[in-house]
C-alpha cells in the first residue's frame, strides 16, 4: 500500500506543483493590484441589481477590504476552477484511467488487496487537496504583509475550512465516478458537467424569485467565499451538505470498486 501511494505521488507531483504555483501566482497578482482598486469609488455599485450581485458573489465591500477583493476576484471562480480541475483530473486517473490504459489488471495482480489499492490511490488525491487548499489560500497572509496590506487572518482560516469541505465533496464524487466507469473522459465530463450545472442553478435561483428554492441542490449556494472571508461565517447546514455528499460518495465508490468485475 505504501509503495503504491509513494509511486503515485511521484507520478503526480509535477501536475500538483503546476496547479499550486499558478494559483499562488494569480493571487499574488491580485494582491499587488489591490492598493489601486481599493481607491475606486464604489458608490456606482449601488445601481447594480441585487440579484446580479448575489449571483456572482459580488459584495460592495469587495473593493474596500482585501478579504472582499480576493473573495470576488480569486476565490469565487478561479480558485474553485483550479481545485476542481486538480481533483477531478486525478480522480479520473486513479481508477478509470488505469482501466482505460489496460494497466489495472497488472496493478491488482500485485500482493495487495483491492481495498488497500483503493485507499492508497484515494489518499494520494486527498493529501494533494489537503496541501493545495491551505497553501493556496493562506499564502495571502505573507503576501499581504509584503505589500503592507491589513487583513484578518482568522477569516482566511475559516475560508480554508469551507474550501476543504467543498473540495472533499467534489473529489469524492469524482472518485465515485472513477470507480463506476472505465474511461477517464466520462469521469471528467460528468464531474465538470455536474459542477457547471450546479453553478448555473445557483445563478438562476438568485435571478428569479419563484425558483429560489433550487439553490439548495447547488454546491455553490453553500460554498460562499464572501460570507467566510468578509463576515467570517460558515452556515451550519454547509457541514451537512458537503459532509453527507463526501461520505455517501466514498462508500459507493468503495463498494463498487471492490465488487465490480474489472477486465480490460
Contact yes or no for 246/222 (Cβ under 8 A) = no
Look at residue 38 in the predicted model and tell me its pLDDT. 67
DSSP H stretches of helix in the chain: 2-37, 50-55, 66-73, 78-92, 98-101, 104-108, 114-138, 140-146, 153-180, 184-207, 219-222, 225-229, 236-259
What is the reported pLDDT for 209?
A: 79
On the question of pLDDT at 178 being above 80, the answer is yes
**Percent of the chain whose pLDDT exceeds 70:** 89
pLDDT of 105 over the 80 cut: no
User: Are 250 and 171 a contacting pair, CB within 8 Å?
Assistant: no
Distance of CA 6 to the CA centre of its chain: 23
User: Stretch 185-209: mean pLDDT, rounded?
Assistant: 89
The pLDDT score that the predictor gives to residue 10 is: 85
- Give dist(CA 70, CA 62) in Å, integer: 8
User: Which residues make Cβ contacts (< 8 Å) with residue 37, sequence separation at least 6?
Assistant: 63, 69
How far is Cα 129 from Cα 169, in angstroms, rounded to an integer?
11
Q: What is the pLDDT of residue 203?
A: 86
CB distance 96 to 182 below 8 Å = yes
pLDDT of residue 240 exceeding 60, the answer is yes
The torsion angles phi and psi of 231, rounded to 5 degrees, stand at: -105, 0
Mean pLDDT to the nearest integer, 53-66 = 66
99 has pLDDT over 90: no
- For residues 255 and 62, the model is more confident at 255
Mean pLDDT computed over every residue of the chain? 87
| 177 has a pLDDT exceeding 60 | yes
Question: pLDDT of 116-138, one tens digit each?
Answer: 889 999 999 999 999 999 999 99
pLDDT at 52 over 90: no
Residue 149 has pLDDT above 60, yes or no: yes
Written as nine digits, the cell of 186 is: 466520462
Distance CA 247, CA 189 (A): 22
Kindly report the pTM of this predicted structure.
0.88
Buried b (16+ CB within 10 A) or exposed e, 162-174: bbbbbbbbbbbbb
* pLDDT value at residue 195: 93
Q: In whole angstroms, what is the distance from residue 227 CA to residue 2 CA?
A: 40
pLDDT at 174: 96
Proportion of the chain above pLDDT 90, given as a percent = 54
Amino acid at each position: 500500500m505504501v509503495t503504491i501511494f509513494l509511486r503515485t505521488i511521484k507520478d503526480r507531483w509535477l501536475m500538483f506543483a503546476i496547479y499550486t504555483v499558478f494559483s499562488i501566482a494569480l493571487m499574488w497578482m491580485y494582491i499587488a493590484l489591490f492598493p489601486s482598486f481599493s481607491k475606486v469609488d464604489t458608490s456606482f455599485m449601488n445601481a447594480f441589481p441585487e440579484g446580479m450581485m448575489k449571483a456572482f458573489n459580488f459584495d460592495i465591500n469587495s473593493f474596500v477590504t482585501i478579504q472582499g477583493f480576493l473573495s470576488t476576484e480569486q476565490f469565487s471562480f478561479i480558485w474553485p476552477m483550479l481545485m476542481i480541475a486538480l481533483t477531478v483530473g486525478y480522480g479520473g486517473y486513479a481508477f478509470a484511467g488505469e482501466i482505460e490504459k489496460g494497466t489495472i489488471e497488472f496493478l491488482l495482480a500485485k500482493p495487495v488487496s483491492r481495498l488497500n489499492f483503493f485507499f492508497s490511490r484515494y489518499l494520494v488525491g486527498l493529501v494533494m487537496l489537503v496541501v493545495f487548499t491551505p497553501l493556496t489560500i493562506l499564502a495571502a497572509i505573507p503576501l499581504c504583509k509584503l505589500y503592507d496590506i491589513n487583513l484578518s487572518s482568522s477569516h482566511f482560516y475559516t475560508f480554508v475550512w469551507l474550501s476543504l469541505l467543498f473540495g472533499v465533496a467534489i473529489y469524492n464524487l469524482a472518485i465515485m465516478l472513477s470507480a463506476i466507469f472505465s474511461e477517464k473522459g466520462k469521469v471528467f465530463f460528468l464531474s465538470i458537467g455536474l459542477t457547471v450545472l450546479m453553478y448555473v442553478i445557483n445563478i438562476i435561483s438568485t435571478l428569479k424569485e419563484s425558483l429560489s428554492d433550487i439553490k439548495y441542490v447547488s454546491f455553490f449556494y453553500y460554498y460562499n467565499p464572501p460570507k467566510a472571508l468578509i463576515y467570517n461565517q460558515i452556515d451550519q447546514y454547509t457541514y451537512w451538505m458537503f459532509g453527507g455528499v463526501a461520505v455517501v460518495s466514498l462508500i459507493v465508490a468503495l463498494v463498487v470498486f471492490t465488487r465490480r468485475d474489472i477486465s480490460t
